[in-house]
Structure 1
Amino acid sequence: MGRAHYHEHHHHAADRPHDRMPYADSTVADGDLRPVDLRRRQFLRRLGLVGAAAAGSGVFGGPLAGPAMAASQQPLSGVDPRRYQWLAGDHHVHTQYSYDALHTVMQQVEAGAEHGLDWMVITDHGHTAHEKFAVEQTYADVLAARDKHRDMLLWQGLEWNVPGGEHATVFFEASKDELTALHAFERLFDGNVNGTNPSSDAHEALALDGLRWMSAQIDKGAIDSALMIANHTSRNGRYSPHEMRAYRDTAPHIAVGMEGAPGAQNDGAPVPAGGGGFRGGYGNSPGTDSWPGFPMEAYRTWGGFDWMTAKLGGLWDSMLAEGKGWWITTNSDIHRANGSTMDRPPVSDDWYATHGKYPDPVDTGTPQIHADFWPGQFSRTVVGTARRNFRGVMDGIRSGRVWVGMGGLIQGLDLRVSSDGHDYPATLGGRVSVRRGGNVKVRIAIQLATQPGGHGEIPRLARVDLIRGAVTGAAADRDTFTAPDVSVVESFEPGRRTNGAQVVFTHTFRNVREPFYVRLRGTDGKRQASGSIEPLMDVQGDADPWSDLWFYANPVFVDVR
């Protein structure tokens, strides 16, 4: 059977407004606080991150403004795209420090290095036992892995149980204070730790407070940088469209996007090769905490991608239609690697609760069947960065210089969008400006695959789609999840080119009158809807991931002057 995706939801927290939390309000005396809030205030004081006064309205105020927000919206035209190096990574990796995972930090990093990754983020689940025992232990393992694998950029992050929402990757720029800040964030804002998982207006407000808190730590110099990426966004229907927009608008330099494709890609493969379940673990139905506006099709993957991304003119496009960045990534979400011979030794039922980790796995000598691939084995997020360091990768993700691929379908991607009067074209995540009535040129260069995939064959790219969407401005209804003016303007077929060859396609938008964006996707063409080029909904137990490969790229915006 496929690995279950566990979610611990505690319901004991009172639903009260969180626009100003008592422990963070300098006008509330210690003696007037509930014991739990007093402990939180004392915890922050002990860490030296914020005092009572510093935790007031400056931290939990309204939407952010100023240079930090403006930087995330800056156009990238005028920067030569050739300056970027493209680094592959995985921002969603679990270890023995998660209540439902197996492998050690070192095993995950070694697997990622073996599969060609340049960067990784360890993201164990927020949990009371994790917060109490595991944060420091994990950090020691991360430091050891960094020391052994000097070429791997390795973060210790957190899979945040977003209050009122779902899961999200959160990580800070690696520095001397990353552990302190991460520990404080988990204690203050994790839905499992604080019992704020259920959907409510108060819990949604607390999630925004968490984003403001991170921003305040950047402002005061406690941390240098932070990112949040929403994970498996449609799996349980927990992320409403208005929550996505609220995250982005509250902290656009931190909340930058979502998983375009989830991990657990082997879960839907036929038995015995896989789990016989649902690809990505997307086998759910609407629940108590699901946003009621989503159709049933939203709870399944489409060509391995989340419905929010795969649906042409869907939620992702509706957010891009506002002319603001909201970027996609992908990852392994690995808990237990398919084909690994490792397994957990017998332990008591309360082992994790009392230790915050499981013992190191032991070698059984028998390959195990699981839902997950090793980091980099199947899915990868490729980031364009001018510097091979922690800040460089984080800035690349923040700027949307990202494309995502499955199964090694392509080796490299170079998208350039240009108009007259610009020194350099814009690449992924960037913007160009064109005079009304002028032309915009798109150049797509793709390096074809060179290595065999899971079936021993080198994947073959069958088609590349150039997608155009109109930029129409802020949505009047923040729960909008459709964008009607989105279409595939041209499809390209590489033909039977030599493995590893570069193929180049071009398209010109003439007499441009209104702003728009362009984005790319590509496929091996083995599975698509009848009479259509759109991806098909994945079928339970009949979704071999290696036989339905796609890549997607983040957009370039075109402004009209």
Structure 2
Amino acid sequence: MGAAALVAAGLVAGSTVHSSRATAADGLDDPQDLAWLVGDHHVHTVYSHDAKYLQSHLLDKAQEFGVDVIAFTEHSNWGHANMGGALNSQRDIAAARLARPGLLIFQGLEWYIPAAEHATVLVAPGPNEARILRQFELLWDGKLNGWEKPAPGSNQAAEWEPKAGEAIKWLAGQKKAGFIDDVVVLANHPSRLGIDSPHEMRAWRDAAPEIVIGMEGAPGAQASAVSAFANAASQRGEYENAPSEFSFKGFPAEAYKTRGGFDWVTSVVGGLWDSMLAEGKPFWITSNSDNHLTAKDTMRIGDYPTGDGWDNGASLNNFNRAGRRPDPVEAGTPQNGSDFWPGQFSRTHIGADSRDYLEVMAAMRAGRMWVDHGHLIDGLDVRVRPVGHSGPGMAMGSTLSVAPGTDVELIIIIKAASKANPNGTVPHLAHVDIIKGLVTGPVADRDNFTAPNTKVAERIDTSGRTGEIVLKRTFANVIEPFYLRLRGSDGKRSGVGPLGADVDPQGPIPHGAGEGDPWADTWFYANPIFIDIKENSPIT
């Protein structure tokens, strides 16, 4: 984009400085000395009916790959709720917290949302963490209560969809009553089956915005297309589905595939995520391993007892009887699996005030998070501030309020990858894209999934740059509320986005047969910063 075009877009490159009366003041700066922690909020163990590993094995791997924060989110099942799964998992976690004080270990749940897909439910450590999860799954789980996959527009959908909002409000009530210190919910793999409609996602958010804070921007199962048993149909994230009778009818066929490994909801500029951000309401993204079965690992699922009442093999009935799967057994040959270890490929970076459970949850709620695949970059800090203000500015997830006509500066500080990733290569960041969207307020149609005022404002070439990369841009004379978010990639695969070249000329694209090597197409995404316009703001 040339200089004239940058000015026309309200975006001025480099070190251009405009006069400003802004001085250091409350509401202009977030803390600069944040503790950036690597997290994975979606991991399964033998306490899930379809997973394989002991907690200790996963914790070893998490620490090997630099994870600071991990959550064990077992599937809702009768064995988990009623045969000791939740309570025994909690005992293991409590022991691990004592043995590994440098690692923050959450207990959570993968909730089957009534009438929809899954979600992470994450509770703060405390005496009631297992009790609240068990009670929640028995009262509100869609699978256990028979509230799964209604046809859109059916009587079942009308009855079951509101139960999700009731469940979220119930969690908020438990926090308010002091039964638990904190709880957050994130929608998991939202477009995998196409059954998370836009109006449902908005309903979950609005039921308790302090509880439902966002979604997986990228699903786990990123090794699906390179697993031991991959085939031509294998897709990153195990997004190998098509529209069904249960799917939201408005979603296009392309919604069922990831783009650069990221969910369609996240990766389409001007799409569903942007349509929610354009309402001016927070809704953040994360990334995680969703580890069940690690690709090409040589351990097999352990053996259940045989005989009286036991099925042959690793059946759900056996799981529900035992409350867990048996310990895995070394097989000596690669086994089936689509996942990476926690922190091996997918990472969520959380900017907490300190290394503390409640501070991590507060940072997640605040949106101080960015995500990457393949260890693409070592660090990222994104800030906005009025031009001339000397403080660090407002960070990801925050809102900067200024008077009309203020010049606003965007500061991006990237630490380029400095060492080989777990694949044995040093990643190189090829570009950073600045995405700008207007905040236009609530939508009339809650099934809307487009944001016509959002587009890529600029692509910045970073190829060949190492060490600390500092980028500054100025948005001059701002008169409308807007948000800014970033993405970047290794530059190996891109194409015109679904909404056209004027919106996204070089965005992530789905992969074809044999093109699903996740290490060959890696991206980072940052959560947005909002710029609000206040007529009476002292900042001009």
Q: Does TM, scored on the shorter chain, surpass 0.5?
A: yes
For residues 70 and 346 of structure 2, the distance between their equivalents in structure 1, rounded to whole angstroms, comes to: 12
Could you tell me which of 518, 536, 539 is aligned with 2:512?
539
Deviations 1:107-155 (A, max 9, x none): 1111111110000110111112221111111111111221221111111
SS of residue matched to 1:129: helix
For residues 153 and 430 of structure 1, the distance between their equivalents in structure 2, rounded to whole angstroms, comes to: 25
For residues 275 and 373 of structure 1, the distance between their equivalents in structure 2, rounded to whole angstroms, comes to: 20
1:285 pairs with 2:242: yes
Letter in 2 for 1:535: P
SS of residue matched to 2:406: coil
Bigger drift between 222-231 and 413-422 goes to: 413-422
For residues 341 and 144 of structure 1, the distance between their equivalents in structure 2, rounded to whole angstroms, comes to: 27
Contact 2:227 2:336 in 1 (8 A): no
Letter in 2 for 1:305: F
1:497 pairs with 2:465: yes
Letter in 1 for 2:116: G
For residues 28 and 477 of structure 2, the distance between their equivalents in structure 1, rounded to whole angstroms, comes to: 22
Q: Which residue of 1 aligns with 2:525?
A: 552
For residues 524 and 277 of structure 1, the distance between their equivalents in structure 2, rounded to whole angstroms, comes to: 22
Map 1:301-312 to 2 at 5 A.
301-312=258-269
Map 1:506-545 to 2 at 5 A.
506-529=472-495, 532-545=505-518
SS of residue matched to 1:123: strand
Could you tell me which of 107, 110, 114 is aligned with 1:159?
110
Deviations 1:452-478 (A, max 9, x none): 235421010000001100000001111
Letter in 2 for 1:279: R
Letter in 2 for 1:552: Y
Contact 2:494 2:507 in 1 (8 A): yes
Map 1:161-560 to 2 at 5 A.
161-199=112-150, 200-269=157-226, 277-347=234-304, 348=312, 349=315, 350-420=317-387, 424-498=392-466, 501-529=467-495, 532-560=505-533
SS of residue matched to 2:221: coil
1:116 pairs with 2:66: yes
Moved >4 Å (runs of 4+): 270-276, 420-424
Contact 1:321 1:483 in 2 (8 A): yes
SS of residue matched to 1:511: strand
SS of residue matched to 1:333: coil
Contact 2:367 2:527 in 1 (8 A): yes
Contact 2:53 2:327 in 1 (8 A): yes
SS of residue matched to 2:184: strand
Contact 1:94 1:122 in 2 (8 A): yes
Q: Which residue of 2 aligns with 1:103?
A: 53
For residues 369 and 423 of structure 2, the distance between their equivalents in structure 1, rounded to whole angstroms, comes to: 27
Q: Which residue of 2 aligns with 1:16?
A: none
Contact 1:76 1:427 in 2 (8 A): no
For residues 251 and 270 of structure 1, the distance between their equivalents in structure 2, rounded to whole angstroms, comes to: 39
What is the deviation of 1:79? 3.6
For residues 129 and 271 of structure 1, the distance between their equivalents in structure 2, rounded to whole angstroms, comes to: 30
Unaligned stretches of 5+ in structure 2?
1-24, 151-156, 305-311, 535-540
Distance 1:220 1:87, change over 3 A: same
Letter in 2 for 1:558: I
Deviations 1:517-553 (A, max 9, x none): 0000000000011683111112244210000000000
For residues 275 and 76 of structure 1, the distance between their equivalents in structure 2, rounded to whole angstroms, comes to: 56
What is the deviation of 1:270? 7.4
Higher RCO (C-alpha under 8 Å, 6+ residues apart):
2
What is the deviation of 1:340? 2.2
Distance 1:86 1:457, change over 3 A: same
For residues 486 and 78 of structure 1, the distance between their equivalents in structure 2, rounded to whole angstroms, comes to: 25
Letter in 1 for 2:325: Y
Contact 2:227 2:295 in 1 (8 A): no
What is the deviation of 1:80? 3.6
SS of residue matched to 1:519: strand
TM-score, normalised to structure 1, is 0.84
Contact 1:275 1:371 in 2 (8 A): no
Deviations 1:229-255 (A, max 9, x none): 000000001111011111111100000
Q: Which residue of 2 aligns with 1:52?
A: none
1:88 pairs with 2:38: yes
For residues 149 and 271 of structure 1, the distance between their equivalents in structure 2, rounded to whole angstroms, comes to: 32
For residues 249 and 326 of structure 1, the distance between their equivalents in structure 2, rounded to whole angstroms, comes to: 10
Letter in 1 for 2:67: L
Cα root mean square deviation, aligned: 1.8
For residues 101 and 377 of structure 1, the distance between their equivalents in structure 2, rounded to whole angstroms, comes to: 18
For residues 454 and 215 of structure 1, the distance between their equivalents in structure 2, rounded to whole angstroms, comes to: 39
Contact 2:80 2:323 in 1 (8 A): yes
Contact 2:299 2:335 in 1 (8 A): yes
Contact 1:242 1:479 in 2 (8 A): yes
Contact 1:226 1:254 in 2 (8 A): yes
Deviations 1:465-494 (A, max 9, x none): 011000000011111100011111121122
SS of residue matched to 2:477: coil
Q: Which residue of 1 aligns with 2:96?
A: 145
Unaligned stretches of 5+ in structure 1?
1-74
Contact 1:274 1:370 in 2 (8 A): no
For residues 424 and 552 of structure 1, the distance between their equivalents in structure 2, rounded to whole angstroms, comes to: 21
For residues 286 and 80 of structure 1, the distance between their equivalents in structure 2, rounded to whole angstroms, comes to: 43
What is the deviation of 1:274? 8.5
Letter in 2 for 1:143: A
TM-score, normalised to structure 2, is 0.87
Bigger drift between 470-479 and 197-206 goes to: 197-206
For residues 274 and 86 of structure 1, the distance between their equivalents in structure 2, rounded to whole angstroms, comes to: 38
Contact 1:522 1:552 in 2 (8 A): yes
For residues 279 and 419 of structure 2, the distance between their equivalents in structure 1, rounded to whole angstroms, comes to: 39
Bigger drift between 88-97 and 195-204 goes to: 195-204
SS of residue matched to 2:293: coil
SS of residue matched to 1:414: strand
Contact 1:275 1:370 in 2 (8 A): no
Distance 1:185 1:270, change over 3 A: closer
Q: Which residue of 2 aligns with 1:28?
A: none
How many aligned positions are there? 485
Contact 2:36 2:352 in 1 (8 A): yes
Deviations 1:477-519 (A, max 9, x none): 1111000111111211223133xx0001111111111100000
What is the deviation of 1:302? 0.2
Distance 1:314 1:375, change over 3 A: same
